Structure 1
Amino acid sequence: MTAKYPSARRRLPASALTLSFLLALGATPALAAETSADGAGADAADATVGAAGAAEAAGQIDDDVSRGDVIIVTARRRQETAQEVPVAISVIRGDSIEATGNFNVVKLQQLAPTLQVYTSNPRNTSVNIRGLGVPFGLTSDGFEQGVGIYVDDVYNSRVAAATFDFLDVDQVEVLRGPQGTLYGKNTTAGAINITTNQPTFDFEGRAEVSVGNLKYRQAKAAISGPLSDKIAARLAIAATSRRGTLFNTTSDRWINEQDNLGLRGQLLFEPNDDLGITLSGDYSKQDPEGFGTAFVRVGRTQRALARQYDGLVAAYNAANPTRPYAVPSRNIYDRLTDIDASLNAGNKIGGASLRVKWDVGPGTFTSITAWRFWDWKPENDRDFTGLSIVSRSQNPSQQDQYSQEFRYNYEGDRVDFVVGLFGFKQRIDTQGTEQQGADASRWSLTGAQAGIPGILEGLTASNTQYLKSTSAAAYGQLSWKVTDALTIQPGLRLNYDKKTGFYQRIVTNGAGQVLNCTPIPPATSLPAGSVLAAQCGVYQPQLTQPSVSDWNFSYDFNVNYKLARDILAYATYAKSFKTIGINQNGLPLNADNTPNLDASTVKPESVNHYEIGLKTQFLDRRATFNLSAFRTEIKNFQATVNGGQFGTVRGYLANAEKVRSQGIEADFKIVANDRLTAYANGAYTDAKYKSFTNAPCPPELSGGTFQPANAVPDYSQPGVPGALSPRQCDISGQRLPGVSEWAFSYGAEINAPLDLFAKEGQLYFGIDGNYRSRWNSNASPSIYTEVKGYALTNFRVGFRSDGVDVFGWVRNAFDVNYIELLQVAPGNTGLIAGTPGDERTWGGTIKFSF
């Protein structure tokens, strides 16, 4: 017996990329490897195909198709198989996501080799594809994402959305390469398109409960059905909780926990067969104790040896013999930390959207109106230690965004096209506080001042900032079938962006007095001046009000040729861009300690992207093998840089002259029969700074007295205490941070028929795993932030029948120790802190549906 549990409606998104990621896991063996691709045309809702309709369409397209994995899409306003579409999308179905435990985008990278996701907290999250997307490191509101995140066609402008649990998800698509001629918001590296299950006119429901070690609890439920013959509704809820993965000996509790709640409601109004109107609303909340780090290692810098981490701890202990300091463990895999500042990661996100689809003549008109909000309430420990150096660090933010998109799709015998208009408006307000603690003087000052806690204790930098962002675009793409085998597909986009920012930092001492640091008195002046010099050396008042706008014109061109019935070759060139950015977190300083106003804005990125590929099927279309090669060149790459100081230049944006990412991706999938499916995907990615001549130096070349301003930088004494430090470093030729050269994922599922409790069903066993080679966790690659490669393996075994699925699972089955992220502590002390990956977890899941 072969059980089938198709979605009531399969929704497949529009994209302009090459199909390269195929996943062979799902609710049934026959459908487990379901993947899909689409064409040059529409949004997710424009590719709706029911299971029966798909089967009928398959027969219409190719009467010879009787075996294999035939996926039907209508993204170009006609029904066609995925392998016939010369554009790219990687589809991971909702049931596969649940089966493999990848319940948010952060975890999804274990299934997609060319996806990289790093997070130290929801705000500081980087989502990259092929090593490109957002600057790696601390996040600034002043730049655009290179990887767009869409939920039901609605663009989410902040990457914090990526950290929430998937809620009633039908499928997730990982799109690779520049977007813009088909999507509302321009993206240069790709997109993650999340499609939720839609309301149905047939009554249906599902519920799922999971429990596991680490006090893991997860519950999901959804119900859908008609309210009348023209109105249908759907309601979904999900909640997740899990004990933290680090034990904080200071607070005597586990941190970095999960505490998530999500709700989504939808109403669908279909007055006739030509018109559909969907009103959606959602709300998600996170309230964990997080997020903190643990001690990893100490690396030598060029600071005086007594001013590096171990020397500073020794000096502190000598001055405080009754309460000496030592980290609870120097082995991060003991999962112990002692950070002493308050931790919070309160995160709320939600909104509403109205989508109208109207079939007009030979095409379809689509309107998407949306409002989104984001409320972020963090508290962090930015010194990464159990000492009170930075006693408070928080930047709560509130965001509102509004977007409107109009799109029209047309289908003809030889020509199809899509044209669209997109408007976007956003405002983000932030109120930041960073405060020095009782141990700050001992840590940051020298001589007699180091023994006077009151010099820095209570020193506070309070900032107020806002960002106003406006974007408008017109875009379109044409598909012209020159012959039955040859198709050309050009696309155009015209984009306007304006950003206005405001940043003001006021500095007060422990007595609450406002400091004036212009000019900073020399340290050799009167004692009062010496104290002020010390305080202004940590925090300086700033006021910047950048405003900048820009027009951009971009385009792409695709040519594809069908070499044989099941062999398609294609080539794509895209000229794309990432728009202007502004620095919102404070500016780096000039030699006289005044803000460098030239760094207020960063130039737009200019992107040239090339891609070729081959898509094939064989063994009666039961096997699929796709191969793609790409090269992306970016001028004025927007990078996050770190000057190693507290406050002012903890992280800011700058332009690297040129970056290049190139590589090869290969994907194989086989549906051997109804009992066995398997897949294997691999990627080689060579992502480098081709030219970045004025980058901040890594920690081993930092901390000493600066070399003369006009001197040729000397890199010959890394980690030598007291050596002169270059003012900037040329890191041209080094790899981009966060990118593994090699990445692989694989999986298989086998099943056998079984009658259990008078139910016909299947006993199944599944395995999935991934490997990635070493990568660097600092914007300027450092020998101290090299992360070793690792491989993870997951197993599951269960029983499924009509409406019931029960399975047990083990993730990271071999309990591999690995690092998710390393961070360089401020102050050039050589301290490296980090976050360990999840240890072995296990549990069980039961799912019901009707």
Structure 2
Amino acid sequence: MNSIKCSSTTNFLLRAAISSALFTSTATVYAQGNLLEEVVVTAQKRSERLIEVPISITTLSAETIEQSGVKELKELGDLTPNLMISQNSDFGTNIVIRGVGANSRNIGFDSRVGVYLDGVYLGQSPAANQGMIDLAQVEVLRGPQGTLFGKNTVAGAISLTSVKPGDEFEGSVGINVGNYNNLELQGSVNVPLTDSTSVKVYGNKTTRDGYIKNVFNGDDVNERDVVSGRVQLRTDFDSGLEMNISADYLEQDRMGFNGEPLTDTFGAFKPEEGAAKYELSQQTLLEDKELKGASLTFDYEMDNGYLLKSITARRDSEITYDADPDYDSAVFLGVLYTDAYEQTTQEFQIISPDGSAFKYVAGVYYYTQDSTTDRDAIPGTGTILYPPLGIEVPIAAFGINPTMKAVDIDGAVDTESYAVFANGTYDLTDRITLGLGFRYGEETKDVDWSIDGSNSGAFRIATTRVKDSRTDTSFDPTASINYALFEDSYVYARVSTGSKSGGYNLDFINVDQIEAGIEFDEETVTSYELGYKGEFPEQNLRLGVALFYSEFEDYQVNQYVDLGGGRTALSITNAAEVITKGLEVDVTYQPTVNLQLTAALGLLNAEFDSFPGGDAEGGDASGNKLPYAPDLTASLGAQYYYPLPSLSSSLLLRADYSYTDGYYITASNDEGHTLVDGSQVPFGEVDSYGTISARIGLVSDAETWEVSVWGRNLTDEDYQNYSFRDFFGTILGGYAMPRTYGIEAKYNF
């Protein structure tokens, strides 16, 4: 299978990346002084130089985010090695780090990667795909991070840091227009109310037509229609106390998209209409979501240098998703999902002074989440082709009364967790720093959930009520050692552990699943990492390398299983063991003050080491690769400023290339789906692909204005980036967004 094995293109890219790293590390540079801007991160709850933190981290500055054209969190994968983010509906956003991730479209199942805004956990999958607006920096931390964040994360964390209110009156307005009627309007203003208090307001409105034609009704689906904003208030008190109040809001109403049907409803033939790429023929799907949150943060610096921190936050997320599981223009069956999450968190931290040999952060964390779901499967009066009989059949032919709901789901899961965590470092010598940390947590899930499948006929959806409670406790230690080879050059070794609590499969489950049990066990991980980080001022080079090996026990797998006869069911089971291992390389090279080159490489081998009975048809999945785990991801970037003194400005030239090797979509490692006529449709695997983005702009020397032309996917690659099988057995796929381009202007005052 060429897409999964290391192809000639992969070999070429790998050789090029290694050669580039070797060349840049030995190149002679004639620029005077260190041109690299120092990168400071807050991954360990204090400001530290990136190269001194013994964690594999990719950082993206505000400039990189803006000039690369990244607008949503789901686009971060283009710039970050070993990070994959699903490109379909926000309802089930799946973030994967080092081959490990999960979506939480099920209120009884948690994600593995945490997304945080200013230290506040943003919640489940519907809340993850944030707009990349008004951010000072993004940090992607790989591996378990429970000792640094109160909410445990077994795969990693994405930390978003917003731009705080400043002491001067300033602001900006911007407009971005492009093809597909793309229109983005944004503005911000910072106002100092007093000598110690400032307020900042930011707003964004984005609309864009869909790029997939629904030939049934003429709609352009997979559009964007988002309004978002943030208000922040900062007050510095004379006593060393700083208060930050923040509130944010996002509303999205759009014609959504879950995938293009590659087959008819039952996965037997190609669809009669809408079979071309970027086409479908079905009832229009709606996807509306509302996210809102508020936080109150106090930072109190004591006279002895200790910092006390309190973060109180409330976040609410609601998403309504109108699905058409028959993927046909006939009114055969519709499903309406409404999931809501109400979350409250409280975190207290104590952070020691920077000047001592022993530095630490310790904290307590409280998290509560009330999640509810309401899901209705509603039959219609239309007919669809049923391949075994070769005739059009109504839904009544499957024993379903079209005047009643086919399935009715209603329920809630209330989660409450407590955690105590600490992370510290001790300078054993001038060169050696020892790090130790732990997280002790207890999480309780109370479930009260019911499903009525009495009118599901031949599909045998269960009818039952689940009223239960489970508690998981965990102790997750971490240890590291950091050794300074010489100034600005460090090697480190790190062992970290993590856990993901168990839960319940609260979805469209059948009678057999109820009999087998819908509860799944806690998952644990032990991760080993060996890395190098260094800066070479004379060569203007920054290099980071990390080798990792992780073992997951009782790994939770969420997938569709094949029941035969065109029927599937959503299943969550525990794989006995998963092993992921690989390499990550980040290089930044600045040969002149105006030119910066970046390169990133991720090599990955993620497999089910033991998973008997784990594939979709009940076979042994041991030795199979994990879904969304490409063997190779790589990116190259170049940014150049060409001075134009006569215009008191500079010409900005930027180009980015991103490459992703082939990967599987399912635990079964399917390699296509054979139709009744013997032909195949792509299912279960994705071929390798690469994209190019670029920007040309004019930037004033005073940084008061900027005008740019930009383009993404410039070569207009129409590669498939995901596929899956839905309830009736329909095979669906999604293709990359076609070439987009436009003009962006910004004015700062």
Q: 2:557 aligns with which of 639, 649, 652?
A: 639
Alignment check: 8 A CA contact 1:384 1:825 kept: no
Question: What does residue 643 of structure 2 align with?
Answer: 753
Letter in 2 for 1:806: V
Provide the rounded CA distance (Å) in 1 between the counterparts of 2:120 and 2:471: 24
Letter in 1 for 2:423: Q
Provide the rounded CA distance (Å) in 2 between the counterparts of 1:432 and 1:73: 42
Provide the rounded CA distance (Å) in 2 between the counterparts of 1:165 and 1:72: 23
Number of aligned positions between the proteins: 699
The CA deviation string for residues 73-107 of structure 1, in whole angstroms up to 9 with x for no partner, is 67778875332333342211223212222111111
Alignment check: 8 A CA contact 2:107 2:373 kept: no
Is 2:490 the counterpart of 1:565?
A: no
Task: Tell me how far 1:65 sits from its aligned partner.
Answer: 7.2
- SS state at 1:288 partner: strand
Task: Tell me how far 1:617 sits from its aligned partner.
Answer: 2.3
Q: How does 1:278-427 map to 2 (within 5 A)?
A: 278-296=244-262, 309-310=268-269, 326-329=272-275, 331-332=276-277, 335-340=278-283, 342-360=284-302, 361-389=304-332, 391-411=333-353, 412-427=355-370
Task: Tell me how far 1:153 sits from its aligned partner.
Answer: 0.8
- SS state at 1:808 partner: strand
Alignment check: 8 A CA contact 2:35 2:593 kept: no
Q: How does 1:815-834 map to 2 (within 5 A)?
A: 815-828=716-729, 831-834=730-733
Provide the rounded CA distance (Å) in 2 between the counterparts of 1:664 and 1:373: 37
Is 2:630 the counterpart of 1:729?
A: no
| 1:749–1:599 distance in 2 versus 1, CA, 3 Å | same
Is 2:93 the counterpart of 1:125?
A: yes
| 1:98–1:222 distance in 2 versus 1, CA, 3 Å | same
Question: What does residue 601 of structure 2 align with?
Answer: 682
- SS state at 2:75 partner: helix
| 1:744–1:419 distance in 2 versus 1, CA, 3 Å | same
Question: What does residue 545 of structure 1 align with?
Answer: 467
Q: 1:213 aligns with which of 159, 167, 179?
A: 179
Q: TM-score, normalised by structure 1?
A: 0.78
- SS state at 2:100 partner: coil
| 1:173–1:144 distance in 2 versus 1, CA, 3 Å | same
Provide the rounded CA distance (Å) in 1 between the counterparts of 2:210 and 2:474: 45
Is 2:578 the counterpart of 1:659?
A: yes
Task: Tell me how far 1:134 sits from its aligned partner.
Answer: 1.8
Task: Tell me how far 1:823 sits from its aligned partner.
Answer: 1.6
Alignment check: 8 A CA contact 2:509 2:569 kept: no
Provide the rounded CA distance (Å) in 2 between the counterparts of 1:448 and 1:241: 42
Alignment check: 8 A CA contact 2:43 2:148 kept: no
| 1:837–1:559 distance in 2 versus 1, CA, 3 Å | same
Q: 1:265 aligns with which of 227, 231, 240?
A: 231
Question: What does residue 78 of structure 2 align with?
Answer: 110
| 1:796–1:754 distance in 2 versus 1, CA, 3 Å | same
Q: How does 1:12-411 map to 2 (within 5 A)?
A: 67-72=35-40, 81-134=49-102, 139-272=105-238, 274-296=240-262, 309-310=268-269, 326-329=272-275, 331-332=276-277, 335-340=278-283, 342-360=284-302, 361-389=304-332, 391-411=333-353
- SS state at 1:827 partner: coil
Is 2:505 the counterpart of 1:583?
A: yes
Letter in 2 for 1:557: A
Provide the rounded CA distance (Å) in 1 between the counterparts of 2:686 and 2:46: 47
Provide the rounded CA distance (Å) in 1 between the counterparts of 2:326 and 2:241: 57
Letter in 1 for 2:634: F
Answer with 437-446 or 95-104: which moved more: 437-446
The CA deviation string for residues 520-574 of structure 1, in whole angstroms up to 9 with x for no partner, is xxxxxxxxxxxxxx81544332222231001111100000111111321100001
The CA deviation string for residues 34-59 of structure 1, in whole angstroms up to 9 with x for no partner, is xxxxxxxxxxxxxxxxxxxxxxxxxx
Alignment check: 8 A CA contact 2:176 2:745 kept: yes
Is 2:676 the counterpart of 1:787?
A: no
| 1:453–1:686 distance in 2 versus 1, CA, 3 Å | same
Sequence identity percentage = 26
Provide the rounded CA distance (Å) in 1 between the counterparts of 2:387 and 2:721: 29
Task: Tell me how far 1:649 sits from its aligned partner.
Answer: 6.2
Task: Tell me how far 1:171 sits from its aligned partner.
Answer: 1.5
Task: Tell me how far 1:652 sits from its aligned partner.
Answer: 3.1
Rg comparison, structure with higher value? 1
Task: Tell me how far 1:644 sits from its aligned partner.
Answer: 3.8
Question: What does residue 31 of structure 1 align with?
Answer: none
- SS state at 2:64 partner: helix
Task: Tell me how far 1:582 sits from its aligned partner.
Answer: 1.7
Alignment check: 8 A CA contact 2:322 2:334 kept: yes
- SS state at 2:66 partner: helix
The CA deviation string for residues 756-785 of structure 1, in whole angstroms up to 9 with x for no partner, is 6xx411112110010001111224321122
Provide the rounded CA distance (Å) in 2 between the counterparts of 1:448 and 1:162: 43
Unaligned runs of 5+ in 1: 1-63, 300-306, 314-324, 510-533, 703-727
Provide the rounded CA distance (Å) in 1 between the counterparts of 2:748 and 2:395: 67
Alignment check: 8 A CA contact 1:737 1:778 kept: yes
Letter in 1 for 2:335: S
Provide the rounded CA distance (Å) in 1 between the counterparts of 2:573 and 2:177: 45
Task: Tell me how far 1:730 sits from its aligned partner.
Answer: 0.5
Provide the rounded CA distance (Å) in 2 between the counterparts of 1:446 and 1:544: 38
Provide the rounded CA distance (Å) in 2 between the counterparts of 1:277 and 1:452: 59
Task: Tell me how far 1:387 sits from its aligned partner.
Answer: 3.9
Unaligned runs of 5+ in 2: 1-31, 673-683
Question: What does residue 668 of structure 1 align with?
Answer: 587
| 1:492–1:260 distance in 2 versus 1, CA, 3 Å | same
The CA deviation string for residues 494-516 of structure 1, in whole angstroms up to 9 with x for no partner, is 1000001122122465xxxxxxx
Provide the rounded CA distance (Å) in 2 between the counterparts of 1:448 and 1:676: 65
The CA deviation string for residues 232-265 of structure 1, in whole angstroms up to 9 with x for no partner, is 1000001111110111011211011000000110
Provide the rounded CA distance (Å) in 1 between the counterparts of 2:447 and 2:243: 37
Is 2:557 the counterpart of 1:620?
A: no
Provide the rounded CA distance (Å) in 2 between the counterparts of 1:262 and 1:817: 30
| 1:477–1:786 distance in 2 versus 1, CA, 3 Å | same
Is 2:695 the counterpart of 1:776?
A: no
Alignment check: 8 A CA contact 2:589 2:596 kept: yes
Letter in 1 for 2:99: G
Letter in 1 for 2:592: N
Letter in 2 for 1:201: D
Letter in 2 for 1:791: G
Question: What does residue 518 of structure 2 align with?
Answer: 600
Question: What does residue 804 of structure 1 align with?
Answer: 705
Question: What does residue 716 of structure 1 align with?
Answer: none
- SS state at 1:272 partner: coil
Task: Tell me how far 1:434 sits from its aligned partner.
Answer: 1.0
The CA deviation string for residues 153-193 of structure 1, in whole angstroms up to 9 with x for no partner, is 11112122222322311221111111011212111111011
Provide the rounded CA distance (Å) in 2 between the counterparts of 1:440 and 1:538: 20
RMSD: 2.5
Provide the rounded CA distance (Å) in 2 between the counterparts of 1:614 and 1:168: 31
| 1:692–1:80 distance in 2 versus 1, CA, 3 Å | closer
Alignment check: 8 A CA contact 2:54 2:494 kept: no
The CA deviation string for residues 404-461 of structure 1, in whole angstroms up to 9 with x for no partner, is 0000001252111111000000011111111233456863986999578464352511
Provide the rounded CA distance (Å) in 2 between the counterparts of 1:778 and 1:537: 23
| 1:347–1:198 distance in 2 versus 1, CA, 3 Å | same
